[in-house]
Amino acid sequence: MASFISSLWHNRTFSLSVLVLSLAIFSYLFFSKQSLPPGVPHSDKYGHVIVFFCLSVLMYRCFNFSRLWQIIILVGYGVAVECVQYYIPYRSSGLDDVLADALGVVLFYALTLMPSVRNLFGKSNA
């Protein structure tokens, strides 16, 4: 089973499919009505960090362009989401959400500075 999962992970087409599906699901969640758990303060910010960390993993795995461009694209997506949410009556937008998005991205790309993390994702060079 582990070799099957490993073969999927190293299949670029599969990784791209997961990235596209993730973008579709996350975009739907960003633009739909949400009911967040009342007992967890700032749960939406945790969600932003986790989502953008996951998107960073997938972007890093799927594309070979520089980390800087990947970061710019991902943070740009976060800014675009907030701009769209500004015009949706049942959603709110804010700089704090963009900062949470950027934190998720920066956390992942900071980890990629470690050779063991780069090797884990199949990237041996910086």
Convert the pLDDT of each residue in 19-38 to its tens digit. 999 999 999 988 888 776 66
Is 113 inside any structural domain?
Answer: yes
3-state secondary structure of 99: helix
Q: Could you read off the pLDDT of 40-49 as tens digits, one per residue?
A: 666 788 889 9
Looking at per-residue pLDDT, the higher value among 9 and 77 belongs to 77
Is 36 inside any structural domain?
Answer: no
| Total Cβ atoms within 10 A of residue 41 | 9
pLDDT bracket for residue 93 (50, 70, 90): confident
Is 125 inside any structural domain?
Answer: no
DSSP, res 32:
S
Is 93 inside any structural domain?
Answer: yes
Domain region containing 84: 2-31+41-120
Q: What is the mean pLDDT of the chain?
A: 86
Is 107 inside any structural domain?
Answer: yes
Structure tokens at 22: 């993730």
Is 75 inside any structural domain?
Answer: yes
The CA-based angle 23-64-123, given to 5 degrees, is 105
Q: Could you read off the pLDDT of 59-70 as tens digits, one per residue?
A: 998 888 899 999
DSSP, res 113:
T
Structure tokens at 36: 């967040």
- How many distinct structural domains can be found in the chain? 1
Most confident of the following: 1-10, 39-48, 79-88: 79-88
pLDDT at site 111: 93
Is 72 inside any structural domain?
Answer: yes
Is 9 inside any structural domain?
Answer: yes
